[in-house]
Structure 1
Amino acid sequence: MAQTTPEADWVSRIADDVIAEAERRAQGKASPAGDAPAVVCASGLSPSGPIHLGNLREVMVPHLVADEIKRRGVPCEHLISWDDYDRFRKVPAGVEGVDDSWAEHIGKPLTSVPPPRGSAYGSWAEHFRAAMAGALTALGVEYRGISQTEMYTSGAYREQILFAMRERQRIDAVLDRYRTKGKQQQKKQQKSKDAAELEAEEGSGAAAEEDSAGGAGGAYYPYKPYCSACDRDLTTVTAYDDDSTELSYVCACGHQETVLLREYTRGKLVWKVDWPMRWAYEGVIFEPSGVDHQSPGSSFVVGGQLVKEIFGGEQPIGPMYAFVGISGMAKMSSSKGGVPTPADALEIMEVPLLRWLYARRKPNQSFKVAFDQEILRTYDEWDALGRKITDGSAQPADVAAHRRASTTAAGPLPATPRPLPFRTLSSVVDITAGAEDQTLRILNELDPERPVRSLDETRPRLDRAERWTTTQVPEDQRTRVRDEPDAELLASLDEEERASLRLLLDGLDEHWSLDGLTALVYGVPKVRAGLDPDAKPTPELKKAQRAFFVLVYRLLVGRDTGPRLPTLLLAVGADRVRKLLGA
């Protein structure tokens, strides 16, 4: 068996288990050339609307595990099943180009629903799948996509469907073991979920928990036809003959017909039967699922019985993954009214940073993706980890998470050549309103010994900072430098305040760099207190520093706070600082 990497983490441990399971299944089985890869990891996504950051965990957990297996030289494939043959359940709120008229399509396959107005794609499913596929490519996720519409309508599952219909009584008996306790548990879970969690469940391939097509007279059928007249699944199976495969159904639209199931391709197995059928069909060894699919009576638990007892396969190793929350998601236009998507996140986060959020937490640990001021701390943590790795002080699990975030088995992912602090970049683009000449001037002065010669050195992080500043920082919190000195405030200053400003102005030229200005602005109150500029701050000194900072902020931007003062001074420029501070 392949060995765990030295930087053991949750990904390595799961990869150990998956490889061991694959070897166990392979024992005694012939492996002729041309067979599918020995290890199959799987994800399922339903393009029923914007596929959000909670759904991304459905992809990232198996991606990270599959990538680790590939790093060890073991053949592995990551399947993403696009559940685009699911029914259109409801019209999602806040999707641009969509209104209540889309309600007429409820019950149709997602691939039969028209896309939002103005879309370049041919169907609802294709529109939302394309957005997610683009984000996955950017994130370095390699996978083989499977359209369930194509699988069902091509007849790929024909034998599995006919088999399930023949075994419908046995399937019903398995499902019956869980129906009562499953419903009780689901009601209990639903009551405990907040609105964000309920919203996050949309878009999951396992969102549907029904286990029956609703046959006439209470008969159980695991197959649900789409009506050949209205294309909706408002159908009831009235009869089925195992020998001839004749299936009769009636639809709420009034249409009724009898078809040969061995030829009919407009329908699908109900979810709780469909999922275990696919495990057996694809030979899936690893597939995680959300907490809502692992309670008693839910699809993962019941599926484990069905795949073994009915389809002769085995349930995948499937750890539960926890909820992904969002902090500060205002103004993300493409998901207005819903949960932000990976594409939204990639507008403000570099690829390695977003990958790191999913790599550093075990699947059963919840976490939040920040779109508000917390993003500044997230970038700071990422940069600090990079420094620890460089100096050798990082913990092994953190080293592993960083490596998984910044590289894949195929090689390194794109990164910013000169990753200046995100908070510094966001302050600069805030002050300059994105003017490239001014931005370059300021960044060039941050560190005179290592000047920034081109903004390309700071991209894509600079572009992410500009996008965050323009979309996430409220207008009333944007920085507006004064055009003229505040004459009234300057006239009201006492002698101590005037002396502090003189000390600051006198030191500008000598300290004109980010580090130098940092030392200067913190040092002025120390010198005025008769202390050495390097003295450790006391509570009294911190109070004096805060009062001094407020004074400078008021004179420069007319507020008590703003970007970090050293960055603000660099951005304003020495001449303008002197003018506004009354020199």
Structure 2
Amino acid sequence: MEEQIGKGTWIDKVADILIKREKKLGRSLDLIRVESGLGASGIPHIGSMGDAVRAYGIALALQNFGFKSELVAYSDDMDGLRKIPHGLPDWLQEHIARPVSSIPDPFGSCHASYGAHMSSLLLDGLDKAGIKYRFQSGREAYKQGLLVNQIDTILKSSAKLGQKIAEFVGQDKYIEVLPYFPVCHNCGRLYTAVAQKYLPDEKKVTYVCSGSRIGKADVKGCGHRGEADIAKGEGKLAWKVEFGARWAAFDIRFEAYGKDIMDSVRVNDWVADEILGYAHPLHVKYEMFLDKSGKKISKSAGNVLTPQMWLRYGTPESILLLLFKRITGTRHVGLDDVPVLMKEYDDLEDIYFGRVKVDNPAKLVKDRGLYEYINKLQPPKQPGPHVSYQLIAQQAAIFPSGEEDRYDKIFNRLVTYNIAKDKTDAIMQKIRLASNWADDNMAREEKFDIKLSDAQRKAIIDLIEAIKPFAGMQSTPDNAKELQSKVFDVARNNGMEPKEFFTLLYRMFLNADRGPRIGNYFLDLGIDRAISVLQRYL
């Protein structure tokens, strides 16, 4: 049997490898920093959040092992704007190639810059999920000279570096130019100013703003010749060397990366090890998040799924479950996963509190560990109310959005069904979230993956006929009782155990094995609507 490490999850395994590696390297273990880079050039999506959340998971595991650890959330807000993300204003075209921290906020004047607004969206998602981090602005790191020693060393070694980058990734431009982008003093653009010579005594880079090809477009330079001071944030390192500089400057011991920047990480590892004399951090490579059609979720493509969009419908715990479940393999993710993850979290909680038996000891340990990480190693003392999200959403669809006491009315329905008792914050939060889901998504009725046998199909046809006469009837105790007995009759007449038939109905309507009394539920839902759901499976 495999030895259990920590809480038995992939997070513990990575943290354990990290500790063993650091001990072998002989580095101080007084404070172990992990890092996540925040892209500030477009709307942050679920993948961007995944990078930070998973790094935080490693920090938590290190703390569980008895080490002090922190997550550094580094914003790449000195990056230049390469293209206008989908849905943003056309006037940004005039700011192409300028650092995103120097571009006005396209959403109004709520933030100091474009970069600050984009960073804030991701930080807001992390805050709402209870992720602790130390924020580091890239612009401020350059302006305050926090990277100056690393920049100096890299630029002094530029000839060796240029050859190595060409050897590693076949890109030979850094044989001719320095791996540093000055910001042109005249036009304020970043990538158009070509760094020509480094003056180590003055810590300055000479440049000419001669233009550049960015993506598929040529961006003209203004022709200005000047000098950029590396100690004052008048430029930034190229990506092929910047990670290495960051890792050495901030003493970073772990950073995960997506496979799309694999080549950059390979070069940066070499830069850290060989040029800067700093053993590169431990890495975990993860696959990208794709949308349901299989396209990469990206800022420019306009198929962004943001943390804010998810949190309109799901709890922070549901988003952490999505991100902590595993790190390997491609993930197809969309908003229709929210109800599924809400249920999965409840199932995980049932396992944690022993309400559901798990025969596989390794799975039990792993599930319990996953639950504890989702709750930042401070799990609740008792489970929350497990009311079907699907059921709440269906109830919410019955009451118009904006109706006074809507949430109370939904709660009262749950009480009638004997599913809820106390009006807790947790259950009211779930009602609010599922109501948002109903308002935005219930127009397209859901159909769950259920294949009916011939016997079940006949029973459903009989049930439709049996409940038709109840259309328009009030949901009174007598009507509900009579309808309930009709369902029993249909089951028996078709040679089915009533319990088995009820379970089938709950799966068809709620994607669950249990639910409210069918008599009350069908009358509340409306017989016509209940019939239309049943007919979809025929």
TM over 0.5: yes
The alignment partner of 2:440 has SS state of helix
Contact 2:53/2:126 (8 A) holds in 1: no
Contact 1:328/1:371 (8 A) holds in 2: no
Equivalent residue runs for 1:298-377 within 5 Å:
298-327=263-292, 337-361=302-326, 363-372=327-336, 374-377=337-340
1:124: which partner in 2? 114
Shift of 1:89: 1.0
2:218: which partner in 1? none
2:237: which partner in 1? 269
Distance in 1 between residues matched to 2:435 and 2:475, nearest whole Å: 31
Distance in 2 between residues matched to 1:49 and 1:564, nearest whole Å: 48
Query: What CA deviation, in whole Å up to 9, does each residue of 1:250-272 have, x standing for no partner?
Result: 21443534436365531011111
Shift of 1:465: 0.5
Shift of 1:230: 1.3
1:24: which partner in 2? 24
Aligned AA for 1:221?
L
Distance in 2 between residues matched to 1:454 and 1:264, nearest whole Å: 57
Contact 2:85/2:300 (8 A) holds in 1: no
Shift of 1:58: 1.2
Distance in 1 between residues matched to 2:99 and 2:441, nearest whole Å: 36
Query: What CA deviation, in whole Å up to 9, does each residue of 1:395-452 have, x standing for no partner?
Result: 22122112211x114x3489994231100110010111242343233122110xx653
2:188: which partner in 1? 231
Does 2:415 align with 1:444? yes
Contact 2:291/2:303 (8 A) holds in 1: no
Equivalent residue runs for 1:141-290 within 5 Å:
141-180=131-170, 219-233=176-190, 234-252=192-210, 253-259=221-227, 261=229, 264-290=232-258
Contact 2:181/2:237 (8 A) holds in 1: yes
Query: What CA deviation, in whole Å up to 9, does each residue of 1:353-395 have, x standing for no partner?
Result: 110111111x2222233412x5433333332232233236232
Distance 1:245 1:65, change over 3 A: closer
Distance in 2 between residues matched to 1:347 and 1:414, nearest whole Å: 26
The alignment partner of 2:333 has SS state of strand
Equivalent residue runs for 1:448-487 within 5 Å:
451-454=420-423, 456=425, 458-474=427-443, 477=445
TM-score, L = length of structure 1: 0.73
1:12: which partner in 2? 12
Distance 1:413 1:370, change over 3 A: farther
Distance in 2 between residues matched to 1:564 and 1:325, nearest whole Å: 39
Distance in 1 between residues matched to 2:301 and 2:109, nearest whole Å: 17
Contact 2:179/2:237 (8 A) holds in 1: yes
Query: What CA deviation, in whole Å up to 9, does each residue of 1:524-548 have, x standing for no partner?
Result: 312445x68637569xxx8xx99xx
Over the matched positions of the two proteins, sequence identity in percent amounts to: 22
Distance 1:307 1:423, change over 3 A: same
Of 65, 76, 86, which residue of structure 2 is paired with 1:72? 65
Distance 1:74 1:570, change over 3 A: farther
Distance 1:464 1:129, change over 3 A: same
2:400: which partner in 1? 433
Of 248, 256, 260, which residue of structure 2 is paired with 1:292? 260
Contact 1:416/1:461 (8 A) holds in 2: no
Aligned AA for 1:229?
N
Distance 1:11 1:526, change over 3 A: same
Aligned AA for 1:66?
A
Distance 1:452 1:327, change over 3 A: farther
Distance in 2 between residues matched to 1:335 and 1:66, nearest whole Å: 31
The alignment partner of 1:376 has SS state of helix
Shift of 1:495: 13
Distance 1:498 1:367, change over 3 A: closer
1:421: which partner in 2? 388
Shift of 1:241: 3.5
Shift of 1:499: 9.0
- CA RMSD, Structure 1 to Structure 2 (Å): 4.0
Contact 1:22/1:39 (8 A) holds in 2: no
Contact 2:244/2:269 (8 A) holds in 1: yes
Contact 1:287/1:317 (8 A) holds in 2: yes
Question: Please, which runs of 5 or more residues in structure 1 have no aligned partner?
Answer: 184-210, 479-492, 551-562, 578-583
Distance in 1 between residues matched to 2:482 and 2:71, nearest whole Å: 51
Shift of 1:173: 2.2
Q: Structure 1 residues 457-466 or 309-318, which shifts more?
A: 457-466
Distance 1:401 1:520, change over 3 A: farther
Distance 1:412 1:91, change over 3 A: same
Distance in 2 between residues matched to 1:383 and 1:416, nearest whole Å: 8
2:123: which partner in 1? 133
Shift of 1:568: 4.1
1:385: which partner in 2? 348
Q: Structure 1 residues 61-70 or 436-445, which shifts more?
A: 436-445
1:489: which partner in 2? none
The alignment partner of 1:126 has SS state of helix
Question: Please, which runs of 5 or more residues in structure 2 have no aligned partner?
Answer: 211-220, 447-460, 510-515, 531-538
Aligned AA for 1:235?
A
Contact 2:310/2:338 (8 A) holds in 1: no
Distance in 2 between residues matched to 1:139 and 1:495, nearest whole Å: 45
Contact 2:243/2:268 (8 A) holds in 1: yes
Distance in 1 between residues matched to 2:46 and 2:463, nearest whole Å: 55
1:571: which partner in 2? 524
Shift of 1:74: 0.9
Shift of 1:132: 1.1
Contact 1:415/1:460 (8 A) holds in 2: no
